[in-house]
Amino acid sequence: CPTAADLRPANGTRVCAQLYADNSPYYDQCCAGDVLVVPPGSDAPYMPRGWSGRASSLVVGTRCELTVWSRKAKKGKSRRFGA
């Protein structure tokens, strides 16, 4: 998986988090498959089409925090992730 400091694409645009679709029992293969990029200041009460219940790994960038909920529309239990 990339480190929190690595979440900066080649053009220099900042990325706050990346969610990955593929999972593996081997750490070096966890961050694979489709990637959902979360830009700074994003507020999405619903996961994009095809991502509900699919994210298996995530990396949160430095100076960012990602909050997720167990149910749609920001309902249910929440959990926060940081770098």
Q: What is the pLDDT of residues 14-39, one digit of tens each?
A: 889 999 988 777 777 788 889 999 99
The pairing of beta strand 65-71 with beta strand 57-60: unpaired
pLDDT at 76 over 90: yes
Distance of CA 3 to the CA centre of its chain: 13
Provide the terminal-to-terminal Cα distance of the chain, rounded to the nearest Å. Answer: 13
- This prediction's pTM: 0.81
